[in-house]
Amino acid sequence: MKQPEPQLKTLDRYLSKAGLGSRTEARSWIGSGRVKVNGRLIQTPDHWVDMARDKVTLDGKPVAQAERRYVLLYKPKGYITTYKDPEGRPTVYQLLKGVDQFLGTVGRLDLDTSGLLLMTNDTAMAEEVTNPAHKLEKTYLVKAATLLTDEQLDQLRNGIELSDGPTLPAQVKRVRDAGKHTFLEITITEGRNRQVRRMLEALDSKVLKLVRVRIGPLTLEGLTIGQWRELTPAEITQIKKKPKPKGTS
């Protein structure tokens, strides 16, 4: 009988995947001699672990995979999405009161962006939905620093050239013009760094306010800024759905 393929992860990632802490914390635990693999002390974070066969302990206690959790947070402006910040800025983890497992962010929002942030310890799901092939739609409300013409909005719709290549076509809706500013709704399926901000900058404009209001089927409904909630089983199923190939119904 053919043996199953090993499920290999580096030791620091294995500990993080178990929901015990961030990879930075895991590296600290490993370096300080708190982790053993199959009874042997390992102090190399990049040591390979077979998730199905190897026995890992932290402080002598077996490491078990944590129960999967899926959280939706309404991130306020002024919070960063890393676990700890050397500059002492507030992080989204300070908002997760009552969550005792480590949850990684599925994608990120920058310091000055508010809105929906999906967090989970299901790293397989996180990797899947952030894969560009998944084409998960993300919708943002944008306040532009200038009045944008219809031609400029069409540029966003058709794809716009950035330093790392052209963007995929976006769904763009003008919400209103007020004074010297255009308010618009934009939906993208990519996850490039600061993508929406860079798209506006390519039009010689600038984002003054940015709020993510939708991730796939998930919306801000029922959440106030700074609050979080668990995803429902139906939402978990929906967010994990793979896109259908073109031409199928």
Both tokens assigned to 208: 């003054």
Is 110 known to be catalytic? yes
Name which of 79, 78, 83, 36 is nearest 55 in CA terms.
Answer: 36
Whole-angstrom distance between the N-terminal and C-terminal Cα of the chain?
Answer: 39
Full DSSP string of the chain: -PPPPP-EEEHHHHHHHTTSS-HHHHHHHHHTT-EEETTEE---TT-EEETTT--EEETTEEP-PPPP-EEEEEEPTT-BSSS--TT---BGGGG-TT--S--EESS---TT-EEEEEEES-HHHHHHHHSGGG---EEEEEEESSPPPHHHHHHHHH--EETTEEPPP-EEEEEEEETTEEEEEEEES---TTHHHHHHHTTT--EEEEEEEEETTEESTT--TT-EEEPPHHHHHHHHPPPPPTT--
Whole-number Å distance between alpha carbons of 230 and 238: 14
Q: Which of 12, 59, 85, 110 is catalytic?
A: 110
* Residues recognised as catalytic: 110
